[in-house]
Chains A and B, each alone.
Chain A
Amino acid sequence: MDKFRMMFQFLQSNQESFMNGICGIMALASAQMYSTFEFSCPCMPEYNYTYGIGLLLIPPIWFFMLGFVLNNNVSVLAEEWKRPTGERLKDPTILRYMFCSITQRSLIAPALWVSVTLMDGKSFLCAFSTNLDIEKFGNSSFIKEMSETERTRLLARIPCEDLFEHKELRVAATRYIKCISQACGWIFLLMITFTAFLIRAIRPCFTQAAFLKTKYWSHYIDIERKMFDETCKEHAKSFAKVCIHQYFENISGEMQSLHHHHSGKDGGGDEEEDKRSDEERLLGIRAQDDMNKVLWNWHTCKPALALRKDQMDDKNNSKLTGKINEAFNGFANGHTHGTEKKEWAVYYSKV
């Protein structure tokens, strides 16, 4: 039971919690980046708007793309999208599901940056100070004598404390724009949260059965990829072991292999068992061309999602006969089996 729990936690935690963790770290990174970033408005009418709005919009795009880059599932999605059909049909709903989940996770850091920027208010102040109606904020008689360009240039200097002399006007205008900025920020947060709420809480009303299916198969694709990598690693290890062993055998000739036979029969079971389990792990792939074919076909012609029952029945039958043999004849019979297999393997490698 405990193993069951731990294994499941490991499986789940590895995939989802890891991605959630990366997501959270990126969100914190975006907040931290904003606070360490030194915002310096150019205070010139031509560049204020570009700088202010650019700082509001460009880092979120960058964080969004970074989210895609850091997400492992992107390569899984790309592979599933681009593979030839082979024996396994492609399901567009799975691709859509994977794309949606990747996008949702990548959107958190940009949303946080935009909210923090709006709540702080500096970028709005920089962008929109020239659009202010300065008369509202106090004694502004001196403005009436100015020309349009001079007026615009003066207003553009509002975000810069040291460049704008009339403190009360500046403070009042700053407060006003900051209010609007914060109001926009809260409305933005409200919209995002409401949309997420609609998606999460209302989705079960529609397509729940289809959702279960796509969730299972997209998770399956991820696991299958991991299993394939694991199997390849194990195979490579066993391949290497058997290859090296055979090389040594060939170098030292028949004597060594005969010597192994005799010592094996005396019951030095462990080494034999290891070698036999290595042979099993080879799963029948014993040549470079075969392995290349395996790896090639894995992409170009993925197998159908249908496990053969007859293979398992074969194994069952052999297990039954093997057990009956063992019960009546004891350990030696098992060795006979193994010995036969061994000789056949030696023959094969000589070819």
Chain B
Amino acid sequence: MDRLKLVLQYFQSNSESISNGICIILALVSVKLYTSFDFNCPCLPQYNKLYSLGVMIVPPIVLFFLGVLVNRHTGVMMDEWMRPVGNRSKNPAVVKYLFSAMIQRALLAPMVWILVTLLDGKIFICAFSVSVDPGLFSGVPNNTGLDVIKILAKVPCKEDIIFRNSSFRKAVSRYVRCYSQAVGWSILLFLIVLGAMGRLIKPCFDDHATFLQTRYWSNYLDVEQKLFDETCVLHARDFARKCVVQFFEDMAEGSILHLPHPPFISNVSQRWEDEEEKLHGITKQEQMDKLLNKWYYSKPELDVTRIAHRPKPCVTWEDPGRRTLYSDV
């Protein structure tokens, strides 16, 4: 019983905490990506905005897709959604729960990228330096022969020589960066408040009992899929071993060599028994194909009464004096 609890806890915590771990790793990857990305503003009036908004929007989309891809629940959800009904009725609440969990986790890394972008400010400066009113600042370099828009477009580029002797560039940068950080902090505050409100208010609206059921069955689906894969792997291993041994034995000359294993080597016979059990009676390719087909087209009903109450053979070893030597009960 305790072992079973440990295993279940391991499975349960394993699935969710692994998803959370991957989610956080992806967020850290997005921060690292931002710091290692060499942001290169074109400093041309017609391309600044396009480039900046591109850098602010396209990487979050990429990170979102990555977040959906690496999440295990995506596969579980799609399987549950797309499967034929079979013997097991479908529960749309479970699919919805899995979907919302997946989306929440996948949205973390894009939000981190957007927030880091805004708090850093480079991209805002690149995008909106041309929209600033130059009259607010003194020291506009007016000896270069360029019009104001072009000068403003060059503000994000520090090394440009037209700004060598003036503080205009720094003033405009600081101004736009302020705006950028204000927007960034506001979005962060909004998200945190939204999350807190959601957590506090949800129990009032949602039926907690239904929620418990939904959470249980979505976790169950995850564990079931893992166990099915595990069983398939173990079955393949035993199938392979028996197939190979059978092949060797077939090649041997003469039927005299088909001797049974000496029965008193009890561990050997025990081993064969265990292995036969692992095969669960599936010994042919057609049987296996049919099994895999049925697993998809007609998933079994959620009722394990038959195997849970299967009578177990109990063996008792007695010596000739009818004293019990060993009992399997």
Contact = CB atoms under 8 A, between A and B. Distances in A.
A280 interface: yes
Contact of B78 (A204, A280, A284, A305): A204
Interface string B38-72: 10111110010001001100110110011011000
B234 interface: yes
A322 B42 contact: no
B133 interface: no
Interface string A322-342: 110111100100100110010
A201 B74 contact: yes
B292 A209 contact: yes
Q: Which of B69, B75, B237 has the most CB of A within 10 A?
A: B237
Sorting the interface of chain B by its residue count into under 10, 10 to 19, 20 to 34 or 35 or more gives: 35 or more
Interface string B226-256: 0000101110110111111111111111000
A231 B283 CA distance: 20
A227 interface: yes
A200 interface: yes
B239 A220 contact: yes
Contacts of B51: 179, 182-183
Sorting the interface of chain A by its residue count into under 10, 10 to 19, 20 to 34 or 35 or more gives: 35 or more
B264 A326 contact: yes
A176 B320 contact: no
Chain A interface main SS type = helix
Interface in B112-156: none
B317 interface: yes
Nearest to B281: A309
A346 B152 CA distance: 100
Contact of B248 (A187, A196, A273, A284): A284
A175 B43 contact: yes
Contacts of B289: 213
B284 interface: yes
Given A176-B42, A208-B82, A276-B262, A307 B233 contact: no
B58 A176 contact: no
B272 interface: yes
A307 B239 contact: yes
A78 interface: no
Give 5 nearest A-B pairs by CB, closest first.
A322-B263, A284-B252, A318-B260, A305-B285, A284-B257
Given A183-B51, A204-B79, A220-B239, 12 more contacts: A11-B237, A176-B42, A196-B65, A200-B74, A201-B78, A202-B78, A209-B293, A216-B288, A283-B245, A284-B252, A284-B258, A290-B251
11 contacts: A8-B230, A223-B233, A283-B245, A305-B288, A306-B284, A307-B242, A307-B243, A307-B246, A315-B272, A338-B262, A341-B262
